[in-house]
Amino acid sequence: LFAEAGVQTKGNKRNQVLKIGHGGTLDSAATGVLVVGIGKGTKMLGTMLAGSKKYTAIGMLGKATDTLDATGKVTEEKPYDQVTKGDLENVLQKFTGDIMQVPPLYSALKKDGERLSTLMKRGETVEAKPARPVRVYSLSLQQFQPPLFTLDVECGGGFYVRSLVNDIGKELSTCASVQELTRTKQGPFTLEEHALHEDKWTIDDIAQSLEHCTALLLGEPARKKLKTEHPGETAVICE
């Protein structure tokens, strides 16, 4: 980004000031919205992303994995022929509202400063975290083509869709795992309106994206000069 913007850094890393931070991890196999703060925008992420998140998840009945998704090793297989669309819709009601949820072992949660997923990959023994309260604002079945089913989920922070699908499988007297997961909304940002795809990660496209996001920030200016140590250097921030 510095090279594309024509910023002369002269090899001094202390002068290469461009703060970038993200507003919450995505599962390694997931796609969709990941909000990124640039410059002073990094300090706004906590406030900006206090709202709900939305996901579209494709689950598979009859197969469980150690990661609770398609990237893991199969740990269990059970018949699912007895499950009907009505059964699935009825079960979803049990997972709507304020519920208790056990986070996955493969997750970004930490033990002694390291992610549980890192410890698991090293083969270390990891105890499951205790169930904790989470909130599901809405949960609906969009498609049912056994063994696959598609869910739309709107939830609060700390919620794991992988755990949800795993719990749904158990509730149906079978097992289930996530095959595809897409985050469609995070806070006020949506996949359709605000996502900047990888082929557009250029200075000009990023600047245009920041301007587009300004409408969500109560009329604050999209562009503002950030003080730099060299005259003529300018950083574009979203605040």
Token pair belonging to 150: 């598609």
Q: Which one from 27, 69, 98, 205 is the annotated catalytic residue?
A: 27
The yes-or-no verdict on residue 19 having pLDDT over 90 is no
| Whole-model pTM over 0.85 | no
Report CA torsion sign: 21, 23, 28, 29: negative
Average pLDDT, the chain: 81
The answer to whether 205 is a known catalytic residue is no
Q: pLDDT higher for 144 or 43?
A: 144
With residues binned 3-state (H G I as helix, E B as strand, rest as coil), the percentages for the chain, rounded to 5, are: 30, 30, 45
Q: Reply yes or no on whether the pLDDT at 227 is more than 50.
A: no
**Would you state the structure tokens that stand for residue 219, as one six-digit string?**
């009329």
| Statement: residue 222 has pLDDT above 50 | no
Q: Which CATH superfamily is domain 20-214 in?
A: Pseudouridine synthase (3.30.2350.10)
Contact 38, 149 (CB under 8 A): no
pLDDT bin (cut points 50, 70, 90) of residue 50 is confident
